[in-house]
Amino acid sequence: MNIVILAAGQGKRMHSNLPKVLHPVAGKALVSHVIDAARSLAPQSVCIVYGHGGDAVRATIDAPDLKWALQEPQLGTGHAVMQAMPHLGDAETTLVLYGDVPMIQAETLKKLAHAARNALAILTVELADPSGYGRIVRNAAGDVVRIVEQKDASADQRAIHEINTGIVALPTARLAEWLGRLSNDNAQQEYYLTDIVGMAVADGVAIRTAQPQGEWEVLGVNSKVQLAELERIAQRRIAERLMEQGVRLADPARIDVRGELVCGRDVFIDVNCVFEGKVVLDEAVEIGPSCVLKNATIGAGSRLAAFSHIEEAIVGPDGVIGPFARLRPGTELAAGVHVGNFVELKNAKVAAQSKANHLAYIGDAIIGSRVNIGAGTITCNYDGANKFKTIIEDDAFIGSDTQLVAPVTVGRGATLGAGTTLTKDAPPDALTLSRAKQLSLPGWKRPQKVKK
């Protein structure tokens, strides 16, 4: 099979500098959804017809298996397919898809391609409000005789509810022949791909129709409103798939997956969480409300409390994270690590059972096991020009309000007194502290307000 994806349209109604087909649904460009559906059919060739200003499209999504045909100027859907013809293989069937109709399912396309054996197959759907679409005109016997565009339709034809989704499949040789015979003698002076239907009738080629699983599959995007509508549909489907796999969602209407979310058994996700890129939640993970996870792995039995933000990080099993924890790229927590509120970790490896429960910044650090990091601890990892490492060995205790001026090492079992500014290594098993001696002035009086 050959697949042609039409993506040359300007998308004026998006009011955006970003080409329409690059706008995202579920974290992925519209046209990438279509390409993925296309690829799942293992076609001989996939050709994308792009238009003026579409170089960004090509630059963003190019891949070795894609062919590109520039359509400039844009003279209609038939003209668009013509531009693709030199790039198509000799496969028997050609399938035409739209780059701005992202929800189309591989199963539906397989059905359509099957119907296109020695026939022209059209994906149609009955719409309560068919306005704007090409109508499927059938004869008394119920056979399709032509497609008439809204702008060319009579009042009777406009009353037809069965519409052309635009997605068609047909023998490649016929397509080439019919495209050569298209004219632009119509209301829009465009070369309509839909005119091949009349030609198929005239040439005695069978016309078959197939239907999608639901209207949602063939919804296109022309505006930000439609983009948002499709986003909700896509998210609903993702949520349903997760629940079918056994994930418990507090509310399937309040989860956003913008990438791939892989869950083990008995995962629970509370409301308003956002998952981006590839996120893995192992068995029995619990995600509290309003967490954001991007390219992260959370180990079995770990709990993330509300408002935790995890990016490019790994949480081991049985972790206790948040609320308001921030794990930045390069954070790797081993089993049973606790990270509490307003604790930020970056490029930090933390071994098992260590805890940083309150208000801390741990960057460029290697932390051993069973380490306790007190409130207000800061690794001073940056001198304004370079980054340096902090190493804290097993069983160390870091008192509150401590600054560790890297590079610096805290030895195994060491204790740092509260308020220490550590500039030299702290030896193992000893108390180290830097602190002005405390003094009290007996009889000292507070200043009094002067009377004027």
Catalytic residues: 358
Place of tokens 């559906």: 37
**Shortest spacing between CB 130 and ligand UD1, in angstroms:** 9
Beta-carbon contacts of 204 under 8 Å, excluding residues fewer than 6 positions away, are none
Interactions with ligand UD1, residue window 322-361 (CB under 6 A): none
Cα angle 431-398-378, degrees, rounded to a multiple of 5: 130
Bridge partner list, 262: 280
Choose which of 54, 99, 264, 317 interacts with ligand UD1 (CB under 6 A): 99
Question: Any contact of residue 144 with ligand UD1 (CB under 6 A)?
Answer: no
Span from 5-13, 175-183, 356-364, 394-402 in contact with ligand UD1 (CB under 6 A): 5-13
What is the residue-wise DSSP string for 206-245?
A: EEEEE--SSGGGG----SHHHHHHHHHHHHHHHHHHHHHT
Size of the site for ligand UD1 (CB under 6 A): 27
Report the residue number, 192 or 275, with the smaller CB distance to ligand UD1: 192
CB of 354 to ligand UD1, least distance (A): 54
Q: Can residue 9 be called a binding residue for ligand UD1 (CB under 6 A)?
A: yes
Instruction: Choose which of 35, 133, 313, 346 interacts with ligand UD1 (CB under 6 A).
Output: 133
What is the signed CA dihedral for 53, 56, 57, 59, rounded to 10 degrees? Answer: 140
Q: Which is nearer to ligand UD1, 160 or 320 (CB)?
A: 160
Residue of the chain from 84, 147, 239, 416 that contacts ligand UD1 (CB under 6 A): 147
* Residue 239 found at the interface with ligand UD1 (CB under 6 A): no
Which H/E stretch holds residue 114?
helix 106-115
Alpha carbon of residue 29 to chain centroid: 8
**Per-residue DSSP letter, 39:** H
What SS3 class is residue 37? Answer: helix
**Residue closer to ligand UD1 (CB basis): 211 or 341:** 211
Q: Residue 111 or residue 146: which is nearer to ligand UD1 going by CB? A: 146
- The verdict on 8 binding ligand UD1 (CB under 6 A) reads yes
Point out the residue whose Cβ comes nearest to ligand UD1.
134
- Give the interface segment with ligand UD1, choosing from 7-15, 104-112, 137-145, 316-324 (CB under 6 A): 7-15
Query: Closer CB to ligand UD1, residue 98 or residue 361?
Result: 98
148-167 residues near ligand UD1, rule: CB under 6 A = 149, 163-166
| Among the listed residues 57, 47, 122, the one whose alpha carbon sits nearest the alpha carbon of residue 80 | 47
CB of residue 387 to ligand UD1, shortest distance in Å: 47
Nearest CB to ligand UD1, comparing residues 8 and 360: 8
The minimum distance between CB 165 and ligand UD1, in angstroms, equals: 6
> What letter would DSSP give residue 162?
E
Q: In Å, what is the CA distance from 349 to each residue of 51, 303, 330, 363, 409? A: 48, 19, 8, 9, 14
d(CA 126, CA 122): 13
- Pull the structure tokens for residue 242: 């997760």
Q: For the CB of residue 51, give the shortest distance to ligand UD1 in the complex, in Å.
A: 6
CB of 198 to ligand UD1, least distance (A): 12
- Rank residues 147 and 348 by Cβ distance to ligand UD1 and give the closer one: 147
- In the complex, what is the shortest distance from the CB of residue 129 to ligand UD1, in angstroms, rounded to a whole number? 13
Rounded-to-integer distance, Cα 43 and Cα 33, Å: 16
In the region spanning residues 172 to 201, those forming contacts with ligand UD1, defined by CB under 6 A, are: 192-194
CA distance 230 to 25: 7
Question: Minimum CB separation from ligand UD1 for residue 306, in Å?
Answer: 42
Site string for ligand UD1, 55-94 (x = CB under 6 A): ----------------x--xxxx-xx--------------
User: Which pair of tokens denotes residue 370?
Assistant: 């069973």
Calpha distance 375→260 (Å, rounded): 35
Handedness of CA 167, 223, 81, 61 (dihedral sign): negative
Which C-beta is closer to ligand UD1: that of 77 or that of 347? 77
Residue from 98, 178, 275, 361 in contact with ligand UD1 (CB under 6 A): 98
CA 208/CA 289 separation, integer angstroms: 49
- State how beta strands 93-98 and 162-171 pair: antiparallel
User: Which positions touch ligand UD1 (CB under 6 A)?
Assistant: 6-9, 49, 71, 74-77, 79-80, 98-100, 133-134, 147, 149, 163-166, 192-194, 220
